Amino acid sequence: MLIKLLVPFALLVVLSGSAAGQTKFLGNANDARASLDGIVGCIAASNYSCAWKELRPLSVLPAVELNAFEAQFNSQLGAVIRRFGEPLDLEFLHEQQLGTSLVKYEFLVRHEKAPVRWTFIMYRARKGWVLTDFKFDGDLQRFFGSR
């Protein structure tokens, strides 16, 4: 059931070549982390419109894809809350840098019943750091890799 709820959101994993909606570039990876702390903070506070407002200018995804994500998220929010409970707070889990141009950040949003992992990939483009990919999941086995 959880997979059925989260599968539509996997559409955002596909990178887009269009940067039409992207308007904000961050100066360095520390700025990227600070921006993501704010976005996930909004999510953990159940202020999803704040999260999407902060995410949009950083994302290279076209506005149409972000609009579709937001609509799908909002339509499934009741089911997500029933499954995981209300969000409580967040924890920063992990940062993984590959070379000088890619950084993956993982956060845990703690809910009443179960956690949800949010993953973001930032890319150092010519003008600065941008968000190229994000997703969330509740697959607890994947939290620990193949161990």
Question: Residues 16-36: what's their mean pLDDT?
Answer: 74
Number of domains within the chain? 1
Which of these, 2, 5, 9, 6, lies nearest to 133 by C-alpha position?
9
In terms of residue numbers, what domain contains 30?
A: 25-143
What does the pLDDT read at residue 82?
Answer: 95
Tell me, yes or no, whether 5 lies in a domain: no
Tell me, yes or no, whether 58 lies in a domain: yes
pTM of the model: 0.81
- In terms of pLDDT, which residue wins out, 31 or 143? 31
Tell me, yes or no, whether 38 lies in a domain: yes
The radius of gyration of the chain's CA atoms, rounded to the nearest angstrom, is 15
Tell me, yes or no, whether 50 lies in a domain: yes
Contact assessment for residue 56 and residue 66, using Cβ atoms and an 8 Å cutoff: yes
Tell me, yes or no, whether 138 lies in a domain: yes
Say whether pLDDT at 12 is over 70: no
